Chains A and B, each alone.
Chain A
């Protein structure tokens, strides 16, 4: 029996939350019809084996390599252009949606006035709308509108990723110590200046690493969108798969690996420079 002195007042709530999490997880497994035993069945194993064994050697003909380089450059261009367009919308939207620039929060112990809180909702709503539709759906839409090719992929990435970047940027701004910015606001500085001097130094590394990670995701997304005709490595992958050219598929997968590896190294380099 626990006495009053050594009982943790938070224990009850924590236990309840754990039980709730389990109760929510179980139907999730049930409804997604997850059944791992399928993987171990004989004929599916041999099917996977046959498919994978044809990967060696990866295709390395000169003509194919030229095609591969072209497609890789196109994929990188789609991802970069899409992300750059997304940033144009995400940066102002995140500044509007975040409490970090609130003048009223500075003199109300970090809580903005209800009125200011209300004004942030339309921006949050816009960001939710932008990221709620998957980029592949936007891509299908834009392929109809602007025709086959990379333009559809760029637009699709720009729209979805501005929603994601805006939301996460706003949360990163709020997650760091707000006192430096509040102190500056209380000394009469403008909002943007207070943000640049009080918040930006603390969030720069995290912003950068998240942006590079999103760029990496954009590369993957542009590959997926290639399947619906938005150009780049994905379109090449689609063609190779259709022709059962397993060696070419292997080369393409290796290219993905190298791209992600490079993105990872870039992120590390930039973080190291900022730290």
Chain B
């Protein structure tokens, strides 16, 4: 069992109950999508799984270790085996893309190698390979501040691909990309997970992307799991219930038929 939550609740310091009594088991090599309305706790759940946030109560096990019973040093070693893609990747504006990507491995490198890499990139081919898979290799030596939101998201994904973690968590990884690019990027993530036996958990706001790429779908609403089903069993009724909103009167618009042309890479 790669990820194991039992009775986990999370209360933010401002008193908001983000997650309430969650029980969740995700096995090795599973590919899971988390969907739900905004504010449902998707980001909180992913940060929790990445051991970036400590649960207020309940127990969290990642890769067979109780993350919050470990010493700080052991936890850092565990964290180096987990990769988290942030929705808005926090990258220093003046850092070059190559450094930002190579930073994925500083959890595995010693301090000396990390500092040397800051002065002179030590693995340019590695960074280029990660960026090439996302069709971004021409931006290797640009500064992060010169990239668009979608390009930054791809740099964030390239960093995690370069990190090569055993658990890959992605928080709205394609939210700033156009549909074709989003489709392509998600398939890169899924293929990477399949080829390297990586457990993949991603939160998505585009339901059709989730249904198309992931075999297991978790519906999250108000910090609780509404459903946890194989993609084939998720139907219109469930989704309506998941996204139901008393305050917004939405006229349902049929999503345009998705004709996708995936760029070769």
* Residues in chain A within 8 A of chain B (CB atoms): 103, 106-109, 111, 177, 179-180, 182-190, 192-194, 196-202, 204, 274
- Chain B: CB-nearest residue to A111: B13
Across the interface, do A107 and B99 meet the contact criterion of CB distance under 8 Å? Answer: no
In the complex, B39 has a CB within 8 A of chain A: no
Minimal beta-carbon separation of B178 from chain A (angstroms): 25
CB-defined A-B contacts under 8 Å, sample of 19: A177-B90, A184-B103, A188-B79, A188-B82, A189-B80, A189-B106, A189-B114, A190-B106, A193-B106, A193-B109, A193-B114, A196-B118, A197-B92, A197-B114, A197-B118, A198-B90, A198-B92, A201-B93, A274-B94
Minimal beta-carbon separation of B149 from chain A (angstroms): 15
Number of B residues whose C-beta is below 8 Å from A?
37
What is the bound-complex CA distance between A185 and B84, given in angstroms?
11
Q: Which residues of B contact A189 (CB under 8 A)?
A: 76, 80, 103, 106-107, 114
Across the interface, do A187 and B163 meet the contact criterion of CB distance under 8 Å? Answer: yes
Chain B stretch 85-128: residues in CB contact (< 8 A) with chain A: 86, 89-95, 99, 103-104, 106-109, 111, 114-115, 118
A184 interface neighbour in B12, B53, B81, B106, Cβ under 8 Å: B106
Across the interface, do A180 and B107 meet the contact criterion of CB distance under 8 Å? Answer: no
What is the bound-complex CA distance between A189 and B82, given in angstroms?
12
- Chain A: CB-nearest residue to B86: A183
Across the interface, do A188 and B115 meet the contact criterion of CB distance under 8 Å? Answer: no
Across the interface, do B13 and A108 meet the contact criterion of CB distance under 8 Å? Answer: yes
What is the bound-complex CA distance between A183 and B103, given in angstroms?
11
Query: Nearest 3 pairs between A and B by C-beta?
Result: A188-B80, A188-B107, A188-B79
Residue of A107, A177, A198 most packed against chain B (CB within 10 A): A107
In the complex, B36 has a CB within 8 A of chain A: no
Across the interface, do B54 and A107 meet the contact criterion of CB distance under 8 Å? Answer: yes
Chain B stretch 54-98: residues in CB contact (< 8 A) with chain A: 54, 72, 76-84, 86, 89-95
Residues A109 and B12 in contact in the complex (CB < 8 Å), given A196-B114, A201-B92, A201-B94: yes
What is the bound-complex CA distance between A108 and B95, given in angstroms?
26
Minimal beta-carbon separation of B158 from chain A (angstroms): 14
Residues A187 and B80 in contact in the complex (CB < 8 Å), given A180-B91, A201-B94: yes
